[in-house]
Amino acid sequence: MNTEYELFSQTTAALAVVLLLVSLISAIEAILEARTAQGAIAWAISLLTFPIVALPLYLVFGRNRFDGYLEERVEIEDQTLKLLRETRGNIEEHIIAPSTDFPLYNSLYNLAHLPSTTGNRVTLLINGQATFDDILTGLASAESYILFQFYIIRDDALGRELGRVLIDKAKAGVDVFLLYDEIGSRQFPRSRLYRQLRMTGVNVAAFNTTQGRRNRFQLNFRNHRKVVVVDNRMAWIGGHNIGVEYLGKSKRFGHWRDTHLRLEGPAVLGAELAFATDWRWATKEHLPIDWNFDSTAQGDSKVLVFPSDPASEFEEAGLMYHEVIVYAKRRIWIASPYFVPDRAIISALQLAALRGVDVRLIIPDEPDGPVVGTANWSFTSELLPAGVKVYRYQGGFMHQKVFLMDDDLAGVGTANFDNRSFRLNFEITALIHDQAFAAQVGDMLERDMAQAFEVTREDVANKPFWFVFAMAAARLVSPLL
């Protein structure tokens, strides 16, 4: 008995030492690599004080740098640029060179590693019916290949309708590549639709953020992109996922307010490059498509496709938002379902309003989570005194990720106005420099504001006493939302 007790004691002591050593190493890693001082301090104290609880949490949620993906992206970009130089579809005549006339392009180009291009046609798609009708029509026209990527894919009426088109195209000899996030679409691999797609020749892959030695336990990363490409002629980017709720058919959410767009022209290459890099990460194979481009201009819009990810040196999505806020001279209107920004973004919004810019934020009046909703009120209370206008949308659940800067630059994509999109998610946004398109976006956002109420300082002041503490608590955990 004594021998068994001694063995148990020795084993327990050894495990405790290992736990403390791993926690110490993790605390040092958090101090060296955390992107915010608050995060570094919080993780270090937790890991050294409560290692048995904090260590598993850190392994899952602690890191915000995704390892390995950046190398894949650089290789894809180099390979594609080489292919473009060798093919007949050269798009160099459409590339916008750096210029002092519009320096915003210079910084965003350096972040995106993609150039802005002229010669594009952009079509604004408002809400689910218009979006999926347009995508279905585009898919039906495919002759060579289809790239199809969504964060959420459900085996419901909408998923099956799109799936039938993909299956028919695969049977007709079109190469179809489907990519999904394994956490956002966690039920999809067990669905009948998934099996049908694979059995009929559709190339299906999960992005799988947990692959790679240092990413193994990191469930906190998400591939949040929604990209469809047909034959390098057309691309779709925006906020919708594949599910009937995005058509407004959810009993929980009711009307679903969302925005997508269709691109035609040289900017389609940016969407293809983002998909190709994700496909390479997911499958360890190059995307076998023909990269030839028709260099004929399709329209007059200047477009920069802006992918962002947690593997890069900079927080690209956050810096993109920060740059357009700082650059705005007349107005900056932002619509997002999640409003949980960092300190730098809050300061930029305050300063923009103080210098006379018309700063407006449109967020849902009923967010899809109480903590997110409470955090919204906390940040709102800071912005109102500076003159920022905050509108809470009441026409259903608002899910669009849209911004409008001045009268000529608009952004439509997948990046929310929160720390998760800034630091943890793989996102993609189309930036359109075109007065006519910006006017359409402005009209759309004005209609949204007509279905919202403007928050006043009295609205915040009249909140019950306990709500002040709830706002403070929500702010503490906001970096994790």
Minimum mean pLDDT among 169-173, 292-296, 340-344, 411-415: which range?
292-296
CA distance linking residue 396 with residue 423, whole number of Å: 28
**Active-site residue, selected from the candidate residues 134, 155, 175, 231:** 231
pLDDT for residue 89: 53
**Active-site residue, selected from the candidate residues 226, 240, 260, 433:** 226
Average pLDDT in the 149-161 region?
97
pLDDT for residue 87: 47
CA distance linking residue 404 with residue 446, whole number of Å: 11
Percent of the chain with pLDDT over 70: 75
**Active-site residue, selected from the candidate residues 406, 408, 459, 463:** 406
More confident residue, 139 or 80: 139
Catalytic residue list contains 224: yes
Q: Tens digits of per-residue pLDDT, 289-327?
A: 887 777 778 899 999 999 998 877 788 899 999 999 999
> How many whole angstroms from its chain centre is CA 412?
11
Catalytic residue list contains 226: yes
Model confidence at 461, pLDDT cuts 50, 70, 90, reads confident
DSSP E strands, 94-226:
117-126, 145-150, 175-180, 203-206, 222-223
Average pLDDT in the 102-112 region?
79
**Active-site residue, selected from the candidate residues 399, 418, 433, 448:** 399
More confident residue, 84 or 34: 34
Q: Tens digits of per-residue pLDDT, 50-87?
A: 677 666 666 666 666 565 566 666 666 666 566 555 54
CA distance linking residue 298 with residue 295, whole number of Å: 9
Average pLDDT in the 396-408 region?
95
Beta bridge partners, 205, equal 179
Largest CA distance in the chain: 85
> How many whole angstroms from its chain centre is CA 84?
27
The residue whose two tokens read 């190339």 is: 203
Cβ neighbours of residue 52 under 8 Å, at least 6 residues apart?
Answer: 19
pLDDT for residue 132: 98
> With 60 as the cut, is the pLDDT of residue 481 above it?
no
Average pLDDT in the 258-277 region?
93
Catalytic residue list contains 240: no
Show the DSSP H helices in 328-365 as ranges: 343-354
**Active-site residue, selected from the candidate residues 401, 418, 433, 434:** 401
Residue 97 has which token pair? 């060179």
Cβ neighbours of residue 119 under 8 Å, at least 6 residues apart?
Answer: 94, 265, 266, 296, 297, 298, 299, 300
Give one word for 231, left, alpha or beta, with left for phi > 0 and alpha for psi -120 to 50: left
Q: Which is nearest to 224 in space by CA: 213, 212, 240, 211?
A: 240
pLDDT for residue 371: 66
In the predicted model, what is the mean pLDDT of the chain? 84
> With 70 as the cut, is the pLDDT of residue 219 above it?
no
Q: Tens digits of per-residue pLDDT, 171-218?
A: 999 999 999 999 899 999 999 999 999 999 999 999 876 655 555 556
**Active-site residue, selected from the candidate residues 94, 169, 224, 240:** 224
